[in-house]
Amino acid sequence: MDMDTIDYEGVFANALPFILDALTSILVAVIVYFVGKWVINFTLKALNKVFAKYDIDPSLTSFLNSFLKGLLYVILILVVLSTMGVQVTAFIAVLGAAGLAIGLALQGSLANFAGGILILIFKPFRLGETIEAQGTLGSVENIAILYTTVRNFDNKVVTIPNGALANNSIVNHSIKPTRRVEMAVGVAYGTDLKKTRQVILETLKKDERILADPAPAVYFTNFGDNSLDLSVRCWANADDLWPVFWDNMETIKESLEAHDIEVPFPQRDVHHFFPEGKPEIKG
């Protein structure tokens, strides 16, 4: 075909609608992108205000911001592509299959991830508090998305999966400002319990760390094998719990000895029977 015979005007006239459609789609896609970007930024700022209002942990706030931002931008890109006429069904199917495969491969990690979010939101414990969980008693050093780090009193660091923490009992020893100190004391049979109780209470009154309300108390709890068992109970600030226990156990012992109240040691009476008759002792 001779180049001079090509109808450029006809070709342009036929191509013009397609060009206009393409330009329109691109323009709409650009508008959708910038509007969507503004909506994402507005949403994230609103969520940050909600997080700040409810005192959500900073590490959780940062993670949720990154996660939501990535998710919203993926959705925005799919919407933009759909606006331009691109079939996004295949992309969604691929993303769904990939998500399912990842979920199956990381079941344990996902459980820890969900547990970490629950712990950071509901805060059953905080950094620096003493907890007892999963056979470990110690101070919380770090709370991450997947694991919580606890330092026990032997200075060993224990890493506990958040999934296990979120689905089992946790004893928080620090959440309350005061704690009850309980000491077990045994005295010899025949001891005057009223006198013993008075001596112990007078000893406790000398310790300023012991709270007056609730008042200290001494209870007779058991007829032991070798002693009359008493339970000594008093209240102190949580930080003073063990110092009060250790100091007063020693002080109570000294006070009982000063008042001639016997603290017995384990004893056994052995009776030897001789069915064949008691042997003669020579010499």
Closest alpha carbon to 231 in 191, 198, 179, 182: 182
End-to-end CA distance of the chain: 146
Query: Is 139 within 8 Å of 128 (Cβ atoms)?
Result: yes
- Which pLDDT score, from 0 to 100, does residue 100 have? 65
Give the domain ranges of the chain.
11-105, 125-172, 178-258
- Which pLDDT score, from 0 to 100, does residue 204 have? 95
Q: What topology is assigned to 178-258 in CATH?
A: Alpha-Beta Plaits (3.30.70)
- Which pLDDT score, from 0 to 100, does residue 19 have? 65
Q: What is the DSSP string of 233-276?
A: EEEEEGGGHHHHHHHHHHHHHHHHHHTT--------------TT
- Which pLDDT score, from 0 to 100, does residue 1 have? 47
Query: Is 186 within 8 Å of 224 (Cβ atoms)?
Result: yes
Closest alpha carbon to 264 in 190, 194, 193: 190
Q: Give the count of beta carbons closer than 10 Å to the beta carbon of residue 58.
A: 11
- Which pLDDT score, from 0 to 100, does residue 15 have? 59
pTM above 0.85, yes or no: no
- Which pLDDT score, from 0 to 100, does residue 2 have? 46
CA–CA dist 218, 200 (Å, integer): 8
Q: What topology is assigned to 11-105 in CATH?
A: Helix Hairpins (1.10.287)
DSSP-assigned letter for residue 210: B
257's CB contacts (< 8 A; 6+ apart) are: 263
Q: Is 48 exposed, middle or buried (0-12, 13-18, 19+ CB in 10 A)?
A: middle
Q: Give me the CATH code for the 125-172 domain, please.
A: 2.30.30.60
277's CB contacts (< 8 A; 6+ apart) are: none
Half-sphere exposure in the Cβ direction for 87 (13 Å, CA)? 4
Radius of gyration of the chain, Cα coordinates, nearest whole angstrom: 38
- Which pLDDT score, from 0 to 100, does residue 73 have? 84
Q: What is the mean pLDDT of each run of 10 residues along the chain (283 residues)?
A: 53 60 76 87 86 72 76 83 73 70 62 84 87 91 87 92 90 91 93 94 94 94 91 94 94 94 80 70 61
